[in-house]
Amino acid sequence: MEDIALKEKKFNRLITIVSVIVPIVVALLFGVKIPNVESLSFLPPIYASINGLTAFFLLIAVWAIKSGKQQLHQNLMTTNIGLSLLFLVMYIAYHMTSDSTSYGGEGMIKYVYYFILVTHIILSIAIIPLVLRTYAKAYLKDFVAHRKLARYTFPIWLYVAVTGVVVYLMISPYYAH
């Protein structure tokens, strides 16, 4: 029992460090522009698709666990973490080589866009420790705690994945070509 408690303590320390460092590094890198590098303007539809695929896999993973397909669930969730890392690398690379795009919509739709964008950004930061803690609980085979935490993690992660696609679709007409 102590061994599991010690492992969980180590996981929690690492999760806290990652959950603090990732948003800070992303924010810092967002302001860095790599000179004399061609824009990676082809990336936004790719990383938006990754968000869509993540949302799809999240839904299948919930179905899988409710259907008793634990290995499929585990594989899908591990894939989703990998997709999230891939998204993050592409997102940073794009913003380090391209100027930010301003939203050009007017009227009420502008407020809808910014509401979706702001909630997406805030929850994308909050989801980091939730995903990692939920995953760690499963890894440590504490499935009761895993299920309790997953009840919060799943809808937030799904919202972040879906709104990532929505934000892309709303801003894509304003990208410079």
The two three-digit tokens of residue 26, written as one number? 């992303």
The two three-digit tokens of residue 81, written as one number? 């973490």
Domains and CATH numbers, the chain: 2-32+41-174 (1.20.120)
Predicted pLDDT at 33: 85
Task: Please tell me the least confidently modeled range out of 7-11, 103-107, 111-115.
Answer: 7-11
Mapped onto helix, strand or coil, the DSSP state of residue 19 is helix
Nearest to 83 by CA among 129, 130, 117, 46: 46
- Neighbour-count burial of 170, counting CB atoms closer than 10 A to its CB (0-12 exposed, 13-18 middle, 19+ buried): buried
- Neighbour-count burial of 80, counting CB atoms closer than 10 A to its CB (0-12 exposed, 13-18 middle, 19+ buried): buried
Cα–Cα distance, 160 to 131 (Å, whole number): 12
Cα–Cα distance, 144 to 137 (Å, whole number): 9
Predicted pLDDT at 35: 77
- Neighbour-count burial of 113, counting CB atoms closer than 10 A to its CB (0-12 exposed, 13-18 middle, 19+ buried): middle
List the Cα angle 119/125/130 in 5-degree steps.
110
| Tens-place pLDDT, residues 35-55 | 777 878 899 999 999 999 999
pLDDT band at 95 (very low <50, low <70, confident <90, very high): confident
pTM of full prediction above 0.95: no
Predicted pLDDT at 177: 57
Alpha-helical regions (H) of 31-107: 43-66, 70-97
% pLDDT > 90, the chain: 79
For the cut 70, the answer to whether the pLDDT of residue 108 exceeds it is yes
146 neighbors 134 (Cβ within 8 angstroms): yes
